Amino acid sequence: MKKPFFTAALWGIFFLFLVQMMGTLVESIYILDLMNTSLDEKALGLLFFFAPVLLYSYRDKRPNLIAWILYGIFFLARGLTPYLNTLGRMLASGGGTGAGLSLLPFLLTSRRSGEPEPPSGLLVSSGLALGVGLSVFLRTVNFGLDYSLFPSGGWVGWSLGVLQGVLLTRQDWGGPHRPRRGARPVTLAVTGIFLCLGLAWFAFSAPSVITRWTEGDYRVIVILISVLSLSVASISLFRPGWFERISPTWLLVWNLAFTGSLIWTLLSHRVPFPAAPSSPAVVVDSPSLIQHLPMYMLTLLFPVMFLDLGVFAKRIQNAKPTPRDLVPGTLLGSLILVLAVFMHIFTNVWGYVAPVSSWFRNKFWLPYLIMALLAALLVGRKGFKSTDEGGRIRSDFSWTGGAALGLLFLGTLLSVVLTTRIHPFEPRDQAIVAMTFNIQGANSHLGERSAEEQLALIREVGPDVLALQESDTARVSLNNHDVVRYYAGKLGYDSYYGPTTTSGTFGTAILSRFPLENTRTIFTFSDQDEVGTAAAEITVDGVRFVIFNVHPDGSDTAMEVFAETLLDRSSGYPNVIALGDFNLRDDEEAYQRISSRYTNAWISVYPTGVSPDGVDMSGENRIDHIFFSTNLAARDPVYLLPPDSATDHPVHWSTIVWEP
């Protein structure tokens, strides 16, 4: 294996771990704050992003010792994270984030032992491309969840961490430095690296993110991101002259085209929410080819962020700074990432963190615009041509390196095929089992991960129709884990994610043993959370059903508007099943409007609200409901209460029967 591949592998593991640690830190804080739907002192965990401020006390002495201490913290934090509870993950990933961000200045100013100069900037960019390729594989192989961040895959983190340590033994941390001139010449270049890293973290390291923005074909998106990332890594290693021939002007044009396609993609799926209670509902059907056009442009243009990172890395290396010189840019970059995280989260919880968050309603595109446009401006009209002094990468071909990249792509390709198969199911005899499950982002009532426990419960019940609420996890606040894909893939069900992540709802996904048709989302007036009701149709043994998965919230007015819209949109269908977290109790006006037309499964069997075995779901105790048309009937309805439900809500299911 040739030396350039060693360096790319070192950077690839570093960037993969850093994205994983930052993502887990934000996820853990969000989960812990989800318990009270407000920001509290746990948000101070984001201060780990600013740990590099401690490097101001570093006086350029013994860089080898400091770098190895930081690596040790980084290694242990990454290795232990999958096995800890949520609070433990927050602390471990926080320590890992702080150590990784502090290690970055040492890596950028180091060189391989025996080399006169730091590595080419293209080698650093090939590392980010390799890191993205690794992340795509780890998420694809585990049905949308990063395999290495869960106990069953924890060995991956330890193994890669050991490999990273071996590669670090070949680094010389005391490289030649020019006389100190302050941090000004490199601050913006370091910030640029953080912008590229942020774009990789927020979107491209997890293909489910773009899929859930757009309802695009997951398989195509995975393949494009994987093959283009690994192609950039290959070209940077084995044919670097190809990228170095790109003129500064064309690099800038490429950046602007990428930024435009990114924002066009997001705005194409922006929902014009009803502005007032009297406003008509907004129905979002499956996207058209025109809406998908910017998405495909985006997935073809995104590799420019790797080249940008190479340019920024080379600018830093040409300045020959000390690690301490990079601290201002590291802190500025960390600040931008933290602000982008808050912007992203505020678009989703705009009704809870007043007065700041309300301004971010329906501005999902804003943090992406800031990161992409700033990166383009910082690259400016200075590309590789102005940063090519010294440290040029050798273009020796490595069969081992090429084979490793090829196998990584083939593994991703095989994984995406195997994890997206829908299994055939035989219908029951004039019956279907409908189940509603508020999964709280796949977390238990104590705020601990519970995806495996929830999946086991779903398998035990074996519903024909499964309605998930609070399932909108393919976003940065929940580490881009796609639990809808995880459940659907593991079960072999067809699925509709419901409202896209760009809309800022908490998710109303529909999973089914039978093909879902005419999928759409119905948005009604909201004054706290976006109210997006997912709808789909299925045919079971020749009988057609329309399914509505609901999760309304807000004022009495908003709830009444939702109820009226549900009745209006379901009118004319002979077989309706409306289920979900209604946030409504028996004595509320909106509930009574719905129950005046449809039958409540639990009450139709247990009129007192209490089952013979003592499960009391009367009055205040019941907000998760299954309603159905009066020509249907319920049999054996069940509520399973926390903690057995592995979430903070009861899980509710019932058999729905009809006459032949």
Q: Which of 594, 178, 248, 239 is nearest to 397 (CA)?
A: 239
pTM as predicted: 0.94
Instruction: Tell me which amino acid residue 101 is.
Output: L
First to last CA, the chain: 68
In a 3-state reduction of DSSP, which class is residue 77?
A: helix
Instruction: Tell me which amino acid residue 300 is.
Output: L
Question: Residue 430 in contact with residue 638, Cβ under 8 Å?
Answer: no
pLDDT value at position 100?
Answer: 98
Question: Residue 303 in contact with residue 86, Cβ under 8 Å?
Answer: no
In the sheet that holds 599-600, the strands lie side by side as 282-285, 517-524, 531-540, 543-550, 576-581, 624-628, 599-600
Determine the Cα–Cα distance for residues 469 and 578; give it in Å rounded to an integer: 13
Strand pairing report for 431-438 and 508-512: unpaired
Determine the Cα–Cα distance for residues 98 and 338; give it in Å rounded to an integer: 13
Q: Tell me, what DSSP letter sits at residue 203?
A: I
Looking from the CA of 68 toward its CB, the CA atoms found within 13 Å total: 12
Residue 57 tokens read as: 């006390």
B/e letters for 605-618, b = 16+ CB within 10 Å, e = fewer, are ebeebeeeeebebb
Beta partners for residue 639, in sequence order: 652
**Residue 305 backbone zone (phi > 0: left; psi -120 to 50: alpha; other: beta):** alpha
Determine the Cα–Cα distance for residues 443 and 445; give it in Å rounded to an integer: 7
pLDDT value at position 39?
Answer: 54
Distance of CA 331 to the CA centre of its chain: 24
Determine the Cα–Cα distance for residues 266 and 585; give it in Å rounded to an integer: 37
Beta partners for residue 433, in sequence order: 655
pLDDT value at position 117?
Answer: 64
Domains, the chain: 3-270+287-418 (1.20.1250), 431-657 (3.60.10.10)
In a 3-state reduction of DSSP, which class is residue 651?
A: strand
Q: Is the peptide bond before 643 cis (omega within 30 degrees of 0)?
A: yes
**Residue 417 backbone zone (phi > 0: left; psi -120 to 50: alpha; other: beta):** alpha
pLDDT value at position 247?
Answer: 87
Task: Report residues of the chain scoring pLDDT below 50.
Answer: 1, 179, 182-183, 386-393
pLDDT value at position 175?
Answer: 54
Gyration radius from the chain CA atoms: 26
Determine the Cα–Cα distance for residues 303 and 297; give it in Å rounded to an integer: 11
Cα Dmax for the chain: 87
Determine the Cα–Cα distance for residues 396 and 317; give it in Å rounded to an integer: 22
Owner of token pair 């759409």: 520
H runs (alpha helix) in 322-450: 327-346, 366-379, 399-418
- Phi and psi (nearest 5°) for 655? -85, 130
B/e letters for 387-422, b = 16+ CB within 10 Å, e = fewer, are beeebbbeeeebeebeebbeebbeebbebbeebbeb
Q: Which H or E run includes 430? A: none
Can you say whether the dihedral through the CA atoms of 59, 60, 64, 67 is positive or negative? Answer: positive
pLDDT value at position 2?
Answer: 57
Distance of CA 590 to the CA centre of its chain: 34
Determine the Cα–Cα distance for residues 214 and 266; give it in Å rounded to an integer: 8
Determine the Cα–Cα distance for residues 359 and 343; give it in Å rounded to an integer: 10
Nearest-5° Cα angle at 609, 438 to 588: 70
Q: How far is CA 373 from CA 170, 191, 332, 366, 647, in A?
A: 36, 13, 16, 11, 40
Determine the Cα–Cα distance for residues 440 and 36; give it in Å rounded to an integer: 12
Residue 559 tokens read as: 């709830």
Strand pairing report for 171-172 and 517-524: unpaired
Determine the Cα–Cα distance for residues 169 and 68; give it in Å rounded to an integer: 9
Instruction: State the helix-helix crossing angle for 121-140 and 207-214, rounded to 10 degrees.
Output: 70
